[in-house]
Amino acid sequence: MRRLSILALATAMAASTAVSAAAARQGSPEDRTFHVRLERGACFGTCPVYSVDVAADGAVIFRGRKFVTCVGEHRWRISSGSVRRLMAAADRANLFALRDEYRGRMTDMPEFRLEVTRHGLTKRLVDYAGGSAGMPATVTDLEQAVDEIAGTRACATRSRR
């Protein structure tokens, strides 16, 4: 009896995961678990170093570290329409089908880390000159969309700090 209960629980969990993965691929706008984080790392020069988080409710948290106008933590909100645009960009990137890491064979480039949660599933991806390592252009498009839609330009512009 106990084996049947464990088997039934495992089957239910597998089915739930399959449904969640399908929902993540379909891009339902009703995803309250949606979250995206973009971290832009240091390079040999003066590349802006910061992270930006965007939640399903439109809350944005920008954490500026180096070579940015806004150092420290800054918060603002974006509209629900902007969140839906970001969800759509994340869905187009199809991150859940991609490798976890793309590393080019060069040095002194900034490392970007992208994390997306859709319908309770989280995908993390590392981009170190990933375009030269077979990373699809849709990942770069998503990195740019995060900055554009979240409105980081005013804070992420280069400064000499």
Give mean pLDDT in consecutive 10-residue pieces for the chain, a chain of 161 residues: 42 41 50 97 95 98 96 97 97 96 94 97 97 95 97 83 49
Q: What is the pLDDT of residue 20?
A: 44
Class of 2-156 per CATH?
Answer: alpha beta
Residues 62 and 60: their CA atoms lie apart, in Å, by 6
The model's pTM is: 0.80
pLDDT of residue 16: 40
Tokens 């806004």 -> residue: 70
The full set of domain ranges for the chain reads: 2-156
pLDDT of residue 30: 82
- Single out the residue of 41, 46, 43 nearest to residue 160, CA to CA: 46
Angle between helices 137-150 and 80-93 (to 10 degrees): 170
Tell me if 127 sits within 8 A of 112, measured CB to CB: yes
Count the alpha carbons within 13 Å of 36 in the hemisphere toward its beta carbon: 28
Per-residue pLDDT tens digits for 107-130: 999 999 999 999 999 999 999 999
pLDDT at site 29? 55
